[in-house]
Chains A and B, each alone.
Chain A
Amino acid sequence: MSNANPKRSQMAPVARGVRAYLAPVGRPSGPIVAFDPAAEGLFELDSPPAPWLDLGWVENFQRTAATKYEALRTGPVGNIAVQCRTQPEAHLEFDLFSWGKLQMALSGGTQMMNVLAALPLGQLRGSGGAAIPASPLQSGSNSSSLVLTTDQLALFNVGDIVAVDADYNGETGYIGAGAPAAYLTSSLDVGTHVDYIRRVTFNLSCVAAKTPSALTLAQPLLASPVVPGMSVQRVVAFVDREGSSFFQEWSGLFVVPADSGGRACFYYPRLQVAASGREARQELAAPIFSPMLHATLRALPTTDPNDGETVLCYRSYLSAANAPGY
């Protein structure tokens, strides 16, 4: 094999969209998912490597570096002797066509709540009233199949979104299976908040089918394996709250697949929200429009284990076939 005729034309990527992926960050000091271009760079866009979660295509993707560049001057005329960088900072903005739990969490940035199916005649609340009691998972359940007793199985239908997590038992700190979903500085009343973790958890999916004993899920749960003590409840809506104190934090991966070959990847190990959620308007044919979720994010620093450098974002490019190196 030889490549005697590398083509400069293959160095100019031509693309038509940016695909976004998220991965949970272990908080406060747990693991951060690495994205290694060598091992994972050319993954199939519809099947990202675990634990990356597909957010879909995004629009108006805009990266901004806000790191300050300083010049140190010396001598009688103030010649620049050396430059340095201070206050490393990077921002990221984009619009999401898709609305869902992850998409709203990333764009809203605050605690993202699951509105659980409520008991009739219960007290009305903005984030959901007293919920229909949870259905305990039976043995044999896993991240794609939830085994229930026959009477509990009848409470769910194909198409339902369901939240799976443990009962609240007075925990504090970060809570939620699979990804930190909320932070409690002090315990809530256990008697009246037994469903609290399921109200916030990211461990959810859609019911794709029902068997005589189980719910089959359309997408695997974030937290695997399913642990004893978890229960499931039906989710009717998602809600976030302006004024909430929680900051979402996720690892972000943004891929620009070039039709002409090659692929650019932007990997942000830690992203937190930098502005409250708002919607952008994509006109289709007046008065029809698509309300897009607008995300404004700030990159937080990590350390590259290869050399100890502080890193906010990695930009990698996987060259197209027959592209010269430079």
Chain B
Amino acid sequence: MQATKDSFYVELRDRLTAVDPQRTITIDGATRPAIVVAENEPPTAGPPLCDALYLHWGAARPALPAAGTMMEMECVISYRTKGTEANAGLDRGRGLASLDTDVLAICLPPQTEKCDYSSGTAADLGSTIFWSLPVFSSLVNAPPYLGREVSVTVFFYPEVNQP
């Protein structure tokens, strides 16, 4: 499953860099694309940053219970914004729409090759992962923040028990 999680993240990260190169965050002095896997952050990490995409991995289950080994795993992409100080937060709606647009853009096409990143470099595992179209939750208004969660189901063949 780790290869699936890593491949999904790397693909979305690379796409975000391509479609919105200005959307970056700085953590511990390092600037990087504004997409984060929550479970890969240190336990002492602070609250989620604004204007960044957080991937939260959820339940996994067999996709076709009777045959084959295909599985599906839930992924929730959460994000929030409070707009800009220059506009006194009045642009937070537009900021959220911009994040929505980025999520839509990076989720298509809905497939990528599955690679093993455990060695630090990508090793092609010879299969693909693919995912459902993103489902956007209602807008969450928690002043000063405006946020949303997007659900995606990722399908994959696990690395074990593959003939």
Contacts and interface: CB of A to CB of B under 8 A. Distances in A.
Q: Give the bracket for the number of chain A residues in contact with chain B.
A: 10 to 19
A17 B130 CA distance: 25
Interface of A: 16-17, 46, 54, 56-59, 97, 282, 284-285, 287-288, 290
Contact of A288 (B66, B132, B163): B132
B152 to A, nearest CB: 10
A46 B163 contact: yes
A97 B72 contact: no
Nearest to A45: B163
B45 interface: no
Interface in B107-145: 130, 132-133
B63 A284 contact: yes
Q: Tell me the interface secondary structure of chain A in the complex.
A: strand
B153 A285 contact: yes
11 contacts: A17-B66, A17-B67, A56-B67, A57-B67, A97-B68, A282-B64, A284-B63, A284-B72, A285-B153, A287-B133, A288-B155
Given A285-B153, A288-B155, A59 B132 contact: no
A59 B70 CA distance: 14
Nearest to A47: B163
Contact of B67 (A54, A97, A287, A288): A97
Contacts of B163: 46, 54
Nearest to B67: A57
B29 interface: no
Given A16-B65, A16-B66, A58-B67, 5 more contacts: A17-B67, A56-B67, A97-B68, A288-B130, A288-B132
Interface string B78-111: 0000000000000000000000000000000000
Interface string B137-163: 000000000000000010100000001
Which of B64, B130, B132 has the most A CB atoms < 10 Å from its CB? B64
A59 B72 contact: no
Contacts of B65: 16
A46 B163 CA distance: 7
Q: Give the bracket for the number of chain B residues in contact with chain A.
A: 10 to 19
A287 B110 CA distance: 12
Interface string B43-74: 00000000000000000000111111000100
Nearest to A288: B132
Contacts of B63: 284
A282 B68 CA distance: 13
A291 B155 CA distance: 16
A4 to B, nearest CB: 37
A285 B132 contact: yes
Contacts of A290: 64
Contact of B68 (A54, A57, A287, A288): A57
A284 B155 contact: yes
Contacts of B155: 284, 288
A56 B157 CA distance: 15
Contacts of B72: 284-285
Q: Sort A-B residue pairs by CB-CB distance and give the 10 closest, nearest first.
A: A57-B67, A285-B132, A17-B67, A285-B153, A17-B66, A46-B163, A97-B68, A59-B67, A97-B67, A57-B68
A65 B36 CA distance: 58
A177 B66 CA distance: 35
B154 to A, nearest CB: 10
A56 B153 CA distance: 25
A124 to B, nearest CB: 28
